[in-house]
Structure 1
Amino acid sequence: MRARLPLLLLLAGTAVLYLWRLGDSGWANAYYSAAAQAGSQSWSAWFFGATDSSGAITVDKTPASVWVMGLSARLFGVNAWSILVPQALMGVGSVWLLYATVRRVAGVAAGLIAGAVLALTPVAVLMFRFNNPDALLVLLLVAGAYCTVRAVEKASWKWLALAGVAVGFAFLTKMLQAFLVLPAFAVAYLVAAPTSLGKRLLHLVGAGVAVVVSAGWFIAVVELWPTASRPYIGGSQSNSVLELTLGYNGFGRLTGDEVGSVGGGGGWGSTGWSRLLGNEMGSQIAWLLPTAVVLLVAGTWAGGRRERVGLGLWGGWLVVTAGVFSFMSGIIHAYYTVALAPAIGAIIGIGSVALWRRRHEPVAAAALSGALAVTSLQCYLLLSGWSSGLAMVVLVLGLLGAVGVFLAAVAPAVVVVPVAVVAALSGPGAYSMATAAVPHSGAIPSAGPESGMRGGVVVFSPGGQRGGGMGGLLSAPAPGAELVSLLQVNSGKFRWAAAAVGSNNAAGYQLGAGVPVMAVGGFNGTDPAPTLAQFQDLVRSGRIHYFLGGAGMRGESGSDAAERIVEWVADTFTAKTVDGVDVYDLTAGAQQ
């Protein structure tokens, strides 16, 4: 029990950090909360990841994260805690799995350091307290790394196949991003598994089949399902999950050519390795990123065979993922960088322990000391814009610790180690505490002491800028009591109590009133779902009661169906204002 106490304290502390005042964020990302609500009411909506229980359109991702939230909402009701607690538990699970993975190659101390770094990375604190798919993605990818390490130990094809299954289900969470770790997993097994080259290659082929099967079964089912009896695939222009996989959420993210995107085509910042260190992403992930690079190189020199294998695996994860994030031209948000946090934690854990073991050697002592000095300087730069006093304390403590580490051969370890750990983790730890202390909501959350979302609510059209209705492209409205009552009256007579342009608009009304609201045009308002003719047929058959808001959305590409629907509704029906929202009764007949 005493041997397990540090791990238990780490996991308990992580749980407190991730669960503390979790409900303050409310629906967090209303887009996914609405899908969870829909999944709690309809098994069809749950399976396909529809944003409403009547199944108009799906979220623009494969729905594994919605499956988890939908099941939780079925069991515990639709509320902030039932939606957000699973994410926090995934965070605790990720820390535990990272500890277990690193411990197998570098020992308990390395595992504890790795877990602590992950737990205290600001963007990890943000995403494990939020309901975007990234929490489940990280958990599954770390599980894949654990299985790969187990596979390498005894050349086990079973463990390698399990790694493939984990990555396959990670694909069902966030599509092609999950595959960025595959080169590192494959190379680690090919180089280090203790069996013949032929068997290693055969095992890798089997693992590849496991990836394809565990990722592809859902794609096959959706593609073969009759389109008339399932929701439209959000984010696609042709109602195809293959298009969504390879286009909007696939190669389009690399090239910037994403049909239906709003503000893309070079609108996502400058590319290059400096992107991860810049103002937007630096405060999310870069606290220990330079340190990880130093320790990756130095630890590979200092470590034994098992440690080198571990550093190769996690180093490959870091380099490939960081490279893609740095140079992709399509949609990218700062919170994506949570996928780097496990690799940074593992490299720091393995590398620091390997160097500490050889601290009596000048080169090892200098490398470890330099890594701590780099950490203190990086944390000083990131903290100075938020808390200059804390920044100076961290810098001074880190430099003192670096001197102590350099003199570790003669300095007492009981003093040097705590100073080094505190100096390294106090910067990201403080920023993580600030992140947990405030609520975060909206489509593009950001770690830090300010609540809310980043990115605003402006969308773009060829003719200039246009607001996204009473909610917006990235924010969900909070309907007033009068509007909620209006939507709920006789809602059972209609397939959709209302329709609104854009998924976040629809989500706010749906969550507030507890009735299905059609998201016209999907997330960006640029999906051809429904077309004007289809919408007119639904209105004539009495399936939609109200249309909410009068602003359409038009991106640089994609369908203009939503805009045409808005124009037709405005020309055909009379609006009344309820709680500041334009409401069109689609059952009242054409205006005179």
Structure 2
Amino acid sequence: MSLVAVDPVVKEIGAQEQPTTLRMAGRERLAVAVLLVATAVLYLWNLSSSGWANAFYSAAAQAGGSNWTAMLFGSSDAANAITVDKTPAALWIVDLSVRLFGLNSWSILVPQALEGVAAVALLYAAVRRAAGPAAALLAGTVLALTPVAALIFRFNNPDALLVLLLVVAAYCVQRGIEKDAGRWWFVGAGAAVGFGFLAKMLQAFLVLPGLAAAALTAGDRPMRGRFGDLLAAGAAMVVSGGWYLLLVELWPTSSRPYIGGSQHDSIVELVLGYNGFGRLTGEETGGLGNMNFDAGAGRLFGSQMGADIAWLLPAAVICLVAGLIVTRRAPRTDRTRAALLLWGGWLLVTAVVFSFMNGIVHPYYTVALAPAVAALIGIGTTLLWQRRNDIRAATAMSGMVLVTAILAAVLLARQGDPMPWLRAAVAVGGVGSAALLLVSAWLDRRVVPAVATLALLSCLAGPAAYAVATAATPHSGAIPSVGPSRGGGPFGGFGGMFGAPEPGPALTARLSADAADYRWAAAVVGSSNAAGYQLATGAPVMAVGGFNGTDPAPTLDEFIGHVDAHRIHYFIQSRIMGGFGGRTTSGSQDASRIAEWVENHFTPITVDDVTIYDLTQRGQNT
């Protein structure tokens, strides 16, 4: 027996319902408006409470907002000593915001929030073309209420722009496979992925198998034409991402900042090494060693990542499998199956990489899974609901709700159970609605909508509560965490590396005085340390050794040359992960040599409990 609905309004799978019109009815327009306004409120409400958020990127925005060279290369300071350890596309948008509205928390964080709202809107548009407005509304709601999305779209890490651009690419592919669509849609998809590469490098390519599978399988062209579409998309991707690498590699090194995160001042090395294959193998020259001990199939459900993304992961997989079964007899060009292949490939490839990578990986990376989870939930749930009178569809829905409710109860309990009543409500509602869904064919038609509502509330209550709690909690440092404040999250104790210092008034005044007379008001080991002093003073501060203090920028000889030329006023003593002055077993040791040289040649001065050295008074401690 084929999986078809008993409900007489649902047809055999070969003629399954497809969206028949692109025109929105008034009720749909209202629903979309409510979704987007609610998303904007969630992502914008009290946004400035996070201050500079990730000061590392805020300081780079400060630099790029005042210096065009710093903006082009993503420099940490306006004097262009060294860049951030990422390609700078996400910074370009924030830099322009700072230029327009001045340097403040709102000008830095609002672009991220608007990128989140745009991602929800585009996901709605993509899912609607494949499965209709009900599926699209559910998908948009799930994305907006995913805790890690509420975190990242209120924070200034580059992941926000990456997610938006990848959703753009998915939308373009779905448009491109439709009947009589032009090849330019695939060019647009490739350009979006290429620009996503400039936001977060190789991570953007994880969606390519899903996009290619949908295009090759369902494109409305002969096979040769479909391959041509992929070639056009690939060419656009190479051009939109590769031009910047070529520009940086050909630019004279003497007139640009050092490429942070590399050991040889090379952006290609940064892309392929520290931020590339090193993230998979754990062999990241210049890193601080592999601090990940949970690699494996359970990582996405573990204590580090579970609260960020795990809530609806099993449900998304169930929806993917069930959806592919439902659409197995559909025509080759079926939009719904193509969407399942696209979002399913996105989900599975990204999930496997995140689960097993041995290099640096942080929980908030999982925001890249959120659009795929949301799309699969929207599409799969709608397909199953249309066939709810078939016992197999009812069983799939029942199991999905039951697994989701149990997982939510586990995740809520694991996080210290800040809302015990919610855990009980989710468990009771989930078990009850799962049982009722199993027998939905025999229920009174007037009861069925109430059962569906209870099931949705039981599945979404946990992530929604965590999304709201995340939005209500200020976040700072390099590794923010979801949910209610728990003392800085799992990495809260690493403030020296992951957070930026807040200098006292006396130190701020001293560093600011006569800053205009020097190229750098001060130098300090580590980019986050430099960011704190730079944001406080408004003057360029050299980040010795880059983010980890392990880049050979500057070398000891170069630093001495800067001191002799009176380009740096002060050196600030600091600590970062791996020891004072960047002493690590990987990467350059120049930062530690510079710190030792300063200690041996200059007299320490204590201001606001911080030790500094006046580099214009050489010879006092020799």
Q: For residue 188 of structure 1, what is the aligned residue in structure 2?
A: 214
Alignment match of 1:48 (pick from 73, 76, 90): 73
- Does residue 227 (structure 1) correspond to residue 253 (structure 2)? The answer is yes
SS at match of 2:569: strand
User: Do the aligned partners of residues 396 and 453 (structure 1) sit closer, same or farther apart at CA in structure 2, a change above 3 Å counting?
Assistant: closer
SS at match of 1:237: coil
Q: 1:488 Cα deviation (Å)?
A: 1.1
- Does residue 294 (structure 1) correspond to residue 326 (structure 2)? The answer is no
| Contact 1:160–1:203, Cα closer than 8 Å, also in 2 | yes
Alignment match of 2:488 (pick from 425, 441, 452): 452
SS at match of 2:584: coil
Q: For residue 532 of structure 2, what is the aligned residue in structure 1?
A: 508
Letter of the 2:456 counterpart: V
| Contact 1:300–1:307, Cα closer than 8 Å, also in 2 | no
| Contact 2:143–2:149, Cα closer than 8 Å, also in 1 | yes
Measure, in 1, the Cα distance between the counterparts of 2:85 and 2:79: 17
Q: For residue 143 of structure 2, what is the aligned residue in structure 1?
A: 118
- Does residue 399 (structure 1) correspond to residue 431 (structure 2)? The answer is yes
Q: 1:456 Cα deviation (Å)?
A: 4.1
1:7-53 deviations in Å (ceiling 9; x for gaps): 11111111111111111100000000000000111010011000000
SS at match of 1:577: strand
- Does residue 92 (structure 1) correspond to residue 124 (structure 2)? The answer is no
Measure, in 2, the Cα distance between the counterparts of 1:472 and 1:200: 52
- The gaps in structure 2 that reach 5 residues or longer are 1-25, 575-579
| Contact 1:376–1:395, Cα closer than 8 Å, also in 2 | yes
- Does residue 269 (structure 1) correspond to residue 269 (structure 2)? The answer is no
User: Do the aligned partners of residues 517 and 453 (structure 1) sit closer, same or farther apart at CA in structure 2, a change above 3 Å counting?
Assistant: farther
Which runs of structure 2 are paired with 1:184-223 in the superposition (5 Å)?
184-223=210-249
Q: For residue 575 of structure 1, what is the aligned residue in structure 2?
A: 604
Alignment match of 1:361 (pick from 390, 402, 426): 390
Q: 1:407 Cα deviation (Å)?
A: 2.5
1:303-361 deviations in Å (ceiling 9; x for gaps): 45322111110000000000000111111000000000000000000000001111111
Alignment match of 1:257 (pick from 283, 288, 301): 283
Q: Which shows bigger deviation, 380-389 or 204-213? A: 380-389
Q: For residue 245 of structure 1, what is the aligned residue in structure 2?
A: 271
SS at match of 1:136: helix
Q: 1:3 Cα deviation (Å)?
A: 2.5
SS at match of 2:304: helix
- Does residue 584 (structure 1) correspond to residue 606 (structure 2)? The answer is no
Q: 1:408 Cα deviation (Å)?
A: 2.4
| Contact 2:525–2:582, Cα closer than 8 Å, also in 1 | yes
SS at match of 1:523: coil
Q: 1:418 Cα deviation (Å)?
A: 1.4
Q: Which shows bigger deviation, 533-542 or 554-563? A: 554-563
| Contact 1:440–1:453, Cα closer than 8 Å, also in 2 | no
Q: Which shows bigger deviation, 93-102 or 146-155? A: 146-155
Letter of the 1:225 counterpart: W
Measure, in 2, the Cα distance between the counterparts of 1:179 and 1:67: 21
Q: 1:388 Cα deviation (Å)?
A: 2.9
Measure, in 2, the Cα distance between the counterparts of 1:67 and 1:269: 35
Q: For residue 306 of structure 2, what is the aligned residue in structure 1?
A: 282
Letter of the 2:208 counterpart: L
Letter of the 1:67 counterpart: W
- Does residue 524 (structure 1) correspond to residue 548 (structure 2)? The answer is yes
Measure, in 2, the Cα distance between the counterparts of 1:170 and 1:186: 17
Measure, in 2, the Cα distance between the counterparts of 1:437 and 1:270: 29
Measure, in 2, the Cα distance between the counterparts of 1:43 and 1:555: 34
Q: 1:263 Cα deviation (Å)?
A: 2.7
Measure, in 2, the Cα distance between the counterparts of 1:222 and 1:434: 41
Q: 1:207 Cα deviation (Å)?
A: 0.8
Q: For residue 336 of structure 2, what is the aligned residue in structure 1?
A: 307
Q: 1:195 Cα deviation (Å)?
A: 0.9
| Contact 1:141–1:167, Cα closer than 8 Å, also in 2 | yes
Measure, in 1, the Cα distance between the counterparts of 2:492 and 2:424: 33
Measure, in 1, the Cα distance between the counterparts of 2:491 and 2:550: 18
| Contact 2:194–2:241, Cα closer than 8 Å, also in 1 | yes
| Contact 2:401–2:434, Cα closer than 8 Å, also in 1 | yes
Letter of the 1:408 counterpart: S
Question: Percent same amino acid among aligned pairs?
Answer: 58
1:389-416 deviations in Å (ceiling 9; x for gaps): 2111101101111122222223433212
Measure, in 2, the Cα distance between the counterparts of 1:413 and 1:538: 74
| Contact 1:122–1:432, Cα closer than 8 Å, also in 2 | yes
If the length of structure 1 is used for normalisation, what is the TM-score? Answer: 0.96
Measure, in 2, the Cα distance between the counterparts of 1:590 and 1:221: 42
Q: For residue 350 of structure 1, what is the aligned residue in structure 2?
A: 379
Instruction: Figure out how many residues of one structure are paired with residues of the other and give that number.
Output: 578
Q: For residue 454 of structure 2, what is the aligned residue in structure 1?
A: 419
1:401-448 deviations in Å (ceiling 9; x for gaps): 112222222343321221121111101001111111110110111111
| Contact 2:28–2:133, Cα closer than 8 Å, also in 1 | no
| Contact 1:302–1:358, Cα closer than 8 Å, also in 2 | no
- Does residue 440 (structure 1) correspond to residue 475 (structure 2)? The answer is yes
Letter of the 1:40 counterpart: G
Q: Which shows bigger deviation, 320-329 or 382-391? A: 382-391
Which runs of structure 2 are paired with 1:56-95 in the superposition (5 Å)?
56-95=81-120
Measure, in 2, the Cα distance between the counterparts of 1:533 and 1:109: 64
If the length of structure 2 is used for normalisation, what is the TM-score? Answer: 0.91
Measure, in 2, the Cα distance between the counterparts of 1:136 and 1:5: 27
Q: For residue 582 of structure 2, what is the aligned residue in structure 1?
A: 553
Measure, in 2, the Cα distance between the counterparts of 1:98 and 1:189: 18
User: Do the aligned partners of residues 453 and 531 (structure 1) sit closer, same or farther apart at CA in structure 2, a change above 3 Å counting?
Assistant: farther
Alignment match of 1:408 (pick from 440, 458, 461): 440
SS at match of 1:576: strand
SS at match of 1:584: strand
- Does residue 378 (structure 1) correspond to residue 378 (structure 2)? The answer is no
Letter of the 2:169 counterpart: G
Measure, in 2, the Cα distance between the counterparts of 1:473 and 1:165: 35
Alignment match of 1:474 (pick from 475, 489, 498): 498
| Contact 1:160–1:204, Cα closer than 8 Å, also in 2 | yes
Q: 1:453 Cα deviation (Å)?
A: 4.9
1:423-481 deviations in Å (ceiling 9; x for gaps): 111010011111111101101111110163542455xxxxxxxxxxxx62111000111
Measure, in 1, the Cα distance between the counterparts of 2:78 and 2:28: 49
